[in-house]
A and B are shown apart, each in its own frame.
Chain A
């Protein structure tokens, strides 16, 4: 009997790429915020929320990716479900950085759109994986 593998390979690849891309995204967004604060008028009570959202997203990303890896590899739906929940939070924060930041540069739009696309694809793959694990 061949044991069928329920773990989703595309999801694994996507999670891995997401991890690498997120590191680049975090550093780029931080650098751009620093650039914006030097070139434009960026008072402190506008700068603080933007930085807080960015760091919160970074803090959320680590457990999200870890749970995703673990759930997919152990074929358990609970961590995958939790990761999906955290993905929702990350999507909200990403939308904030895309739409409601103080200054949204064209580079910001590109990075955030790409991240959103990755999240959407990931969520879709997680749902199918959960469906596969449950059944």
Chain B
């Protein structure tokens, strides 16, 4: 105990106020003010132990250090009188690894955690259950989907745009790829990648391959066949049982695969139970040296209806804004109906720019993308106002303009509070006339303003839609003298505004000067 010194940190140098430091001389001790370590003892639980007491005698001139070795007695009746367990009072020094005990030490301490008790009495280390014979290797996210010979291929462009057939499809990874394949019409029935058989002949293993048991195999069924003609028109075939192989007919090669869309159904335990492929077959003309093929794969869990999410949970820029209706009738309906027909859409400009011919072409509103589109309306003297106003409203708003917009990208239909109602505003442009609203108003512009904010943590903010306002601006239709015509521009726009409050910097408080006079500074006057 006399040789232990906790405050001796500097080697061969005297530590300040460290009375037990052997590097300090008597002169150094005379400069100390106090002893930082007054007592060095062993375990205080022992009944009697040696203690080294250091103190500074400040009365003497110069101050000197006093060192005493005394017996310290623990007065408690529960002090340790003696012990027969050597490691009780000392820290165990760890074993140094040698080539002989390295494996044992690695087993014991090699993991992320190990127990403090020695496991020499742990009897069942050798009866660890051997890998269960019935355990199957289920598919996990990203693992290539295995077929009976290799992997399920999804041809995709690798370095250049040319198709490479060596890209395996990952489980639960929805992918869509497009690539170019070089073809020659004369040999098109011998090119494997152009025939349907190439994509459906190998069956998919339901679980991952195991060498001892046979695994259930899922055949790829043909879900539908769409035939695309040379000018691009697509027709869905009624019977999709017949396998259509490429055949050379004159100058064309028919039934060449232009696109494959795989749909895989899986269970929640990671097994594949169904696989279907939808084909787009087309005709290649003689001049074509290469065709573009597109491939897609999507995974659906069994007994669920997949709803495409626009973000999880915040909206992702570029994904469509989800919208829906609230069914009328009951006081507090519990669901918002959202389907493909109730999307938030905006008028899409066409090349002809004619509003009345543009009915039907609409573009979905994608989150974060401000869009503006428009068309031109030709008015003659004979146009009636009321039907024109209704038509324009249909053109601007579309067939079923939704009432609610999802606040988050993954808002569920059941959570009514997660859906934001669309506020509809009506502004009428009065062209300085006080003449009345009996002259009718036609809508000329629709502006959708989507206010969104950043929600969640500063490090990973999620976009959340807070408010959607659809503003219809109307103007009066002035009656034209007959024979004249006028062109009115009709416009619709979508604007996304970020209304998240900016982060405010936090500053430290200004340092203050703290001057206080003593209480009795003005004694005896106060």
Interface pairs A-B: 8 shortest CB-CB: A102-B85, A104-B81, A104-B82, A107-B77, A106-B81, A105-B78, A103-B83, A109-B81
**Residues of chain A contacted by B118 (CB below 8 angstroms):** 43
Contact at B121–A103, with CB atoms within 8 Å?
no
Kindly state whether residue B79 has any CB partner on chain A within 8 Å. yes
Per the bound structure, the CA–CA distance linking A133 and B42 in Å amounts to 57
Which residues 42-79 of B have a CB within 8 angstroms of A?
45, 47, 76-79
Contact of A101 among B78, B84, B121 (CB under 8 A): B84
Kindly state whether residue A32 has any CB partner on chain B within 8 Å. yes
Kindly state whether residue B87 has any CB partner on chain A within 8 Å. yes
Interface size class of A (residues with CB under 8 A): 20 to 34
**Residues of chain B contacted by A99 (CB below 8 angstroms):** 82
Per the bound structure, the CA–CA distance linking A45 and B80 in Å amounts to 20
Contact at A35–B78, with CB atoms within 8 Å?
yes
Contact at B84–A102, with CB atoms within 8 Å?
yes
**Residues of chain A contacted by B78 (CB below 8 angstroms):** 32, 35, 105-107
A66 to chain B, nearest CB (A): 32
**Residues of chain A contacted by B45 (CB below 8 angstroms):** 39-40
Kindly state whether residue A5 has any CB partner on chain B within 8 Å. no
- 11 further A-B contacts with Cβ under 8 Å, apart from A35-B78, A44-B117, are A32-B78, A40-B80, A99-B82, A103-B88, A105-B77, A105-B78, A105-B81, A106-B78, A106-B81, A108-B81, A110-B77
B262 to chain A, nearest CB (A): 59
Contact at A105–B85, with CB atoms within 8 Å?
no
B392 to chain A, nearest CB (A): 84
A55 to chain B, nearest CB (A): 19
Query: SS class of chain A's interface: helix, strand, loop or mixed?
Result: helix
Per the bound structure, the CA–CA distance linking A31 and B117 in Å amounts to 23
Per the bound structure, the CA–CA distance linking A88 and B85 in Å amounts to 27
Contact at A46–B81, with CB atoms within 8 Å?
no
Query: Could you show 13 A-B contacts with beta carbons less than 8 Å apart?
Result: A40-B88, A43-B117, A45-B121, A101-B84, A103-B83, A103-B85, A104-B81, A104-B82, A104-B83, A105-B77, A105-B81, A106-B47, A108-B81
Which residues of A are in contact with B by a Cβ distance under 8 Å?
Answer: 32, 35, 39-41, 43-46, 99-110
Question: With A43-B118, A44-B117 known to touch, is A102 a contact of B77 (CB < 8 Å)?
Answer: no
Nearest to B78 among chain A residues (CB) is A105
Question: With A43-B117, A45-B121 known to touch, is A106 a contact of B85 (CB < 8 Å)?
Answer: no
Nearest to A46 among chain B residues (CB) is B85
**Residues of chain A contacted by B79 (CB below 8 angstroms):** 105-106
Per the bound structure, the CA–CA distance linking A41 and B45 in Å amounts to 13
Which residues 103-127 of B have a CB within 8 angstroms of A?
117-118, 121
B92 to chain A, nearest CB (A): 10
Question: With A44-B121, A106-B47 known to touch, is A100 a contact of B81 (CB < 8 Å)?
Answer: no
**Residues of chain B contacted by A101 (CB below 8 angstroms):** 84
A24 to chain B, nearest CB (A): 15
Which residues 287-329 of B have a CB within 8 angstroms of A?
none
**Residues of chain A contacted by B82 (CB below 8 angstroms):** 99, 104
Per the bound structure, the CA–CA distance linking A32 and B76 in Å amounts to 14
Most buried by B among A43, A44, A46: A43
**Residues of chain B contacted by A39 (CB below 8 angstroms):** 45
Per the bound structure, the CA–CA distance linking A108 and B361 in Å amounts to 95
B81 to chain A, nearest CB (A): 5
Per the bound structure, the CA–CA distance linking A89 and B78 in Å amounts to 27
Nearest to B121 among chain A residues (CB) is A45
**Residues of chain B contacted by A107 (CB below 8 angstroms):** 77-78
**Residues of chain B contacted by A32 (CB below 8 angstroms):** 78
Nearest to A107 among chain B residues (CB) is B77
Contact at A105–B80, with CB atoms within 8 Å?
yes
Nearest to B82 among chain A residues (CB) is A104
Nearest to A35 among chain B residues (CB) is B78
